[in-house]
Amino acid sequence: MRSVIASIVASTCLRACLAEQLPLAGSHHALVPDDAPSYRSELLSLHKSLVTIPSVSGNENAVGNFVVEYLTDRGYIADIQFVPKRNNTQGDKERFNVVAWRGDSNPTPKVLVTSHIDVVPPHIDYGIEDGPVTKDTRISGRGSVDAKGSVAAIIIALEDLLSHDRVDGSDVMLLFVVGEEVSGDGMRYFSDSLKNMTEQPAFDAVIFGEPTENKLACGHKGGLFGEIVAQGIASHSGYPWLGKSANELMVHAMAKIFATDLGSSDLYGNTTFNLGRFEGGVAANVVPEHARAGIAIRVAIGPEKGGGEIVRERVQKILNEIDEDAFELISSHSYGAVDCDCDVDGFETAVMNYGTDIPNLAGDHTRYLYGPGSILVAHGPNENLTVGDLETAVEGFQKLILHALKA
């Protein structure tokens, strides 16, 4: 592993700019010991520190530095893996994945536990309800659910297992990646780096932390992302027959796509189509020459590697039926429905409609998807979860780690 990622265990340059972990307790936040696990204070303090640090995709440097400092202070070997910037608007600071483990300098981990440290915009400050802290106390802020809740629970889960000698530190590796919310470039970069290693780690299992309401996900829908471009001919709006309206073509195409079954399955339901952006034309009295639509399709069919392409062909067929010369379907990436292992005792199960980094990590390993909080509030202005959600997730991640090691 050290041959492809640069060690920063002794890096005083990075340590100088790391954020300090924020205390939780205060005059109006007394911890309630009655039913509190021993790790509650550390869990909530870590979660607060993570959420407090802004880390919108592309600007993950500060939170990455904090994670490195936190882990190295607790005896982990923490390495960083620089991920290229996607554009020139992400500032001057480097962005990087964090890879960490306990034990040998050249580990051979059996289980990888991972989540992402980037969030969607805008940054929303950390908040916690006043009064004594109980399992019902609600915590808010950008990333409190997606996915810094998982990051905090994963770290505390492993720390607790190690402190009680329930796992060997060299058997479990942690990975916290950048860029999941936009294109998955952090995980893809990590995956590519493994392929280039002389001795490639062969993980038996990978546990992905994402908001699943602490249910074990049996999988999630695939996706097809990109845009549809329509080309028309401009003319005066009083003489529309002299032109060709790109907007009109796009409206007809969108209506037909929405009315068409793009694919369904018993497990994942229907493939859904979202028209996220629509722009076209230059003025109300001009027949528009160009139109552009940003789309996100959640693919309910497989296979994982080809399901997205099947849906793409179905959309392209509709566009051709409207006008075979006017449209261009530009897809940034696509994949079919993603299956995960959910046959583990002690968990409720569910399927998810969102996408994850799971298809971005190549390899023949068992895949688990689990984490605290609800996707229904993630990305929204009221992103939040409870103390009990976080604590349940710690126990859940521990069960999954132990199950994966035994399996």
* Active-site choice (60, 159, 180, 213): 180
Length of the chain: 407
Beta carbons of 152 and 46 less than 8 angstroms apart: yes
Report the alpha-carbon distance of residue 299 to residue 321 in Å, rounded: 22
d(CA 197, CA 160): 31
To the query of whether residue 391 is one of the catalytic residues in this protein, the response is no
Prior bond of 147 cis (ω within 30°): yes
Nearest Cα neighbor of 117 from 206, 69, 186, 71 is 186
Three-state DSSP string of the chain: CCCCCEECCCCHHHHCCCCCCCCCCCCCCCECCCCCCCCHHHHHHHHHHHHHCCCECCCCHHHHHHHHHHHHHCCCEEEEEEECCCCCCCCCCCEEEEEEECCCCCCCCCEEEEEECCECCCCCCCEECCCCECCCCEEECCCCCCCHHHHHHHHHHHHHHHHCCCCCHHHEEEEEECCCCCCCHHHHHHHHHHHCCCCCCCCCEEEEECCCCCCEEEEECEEEEEEEEEECECEECCCHHHCECHHHHHHHHHHHHHHCCCCEECCCEECEEEEEEEEECCCCCEECCEEEEEEEEEECCCCCCCHHHHHHHHHHHHHHHHHCCCEEEEEEEEECCEECCCCCCCCCEEEECCCCCHHHCCCCCEEEEECCCCCCCCCCCCCEEEHHHHHHHHHHHHHHHHHHHHC
Residues catalogued as catalytic = 180
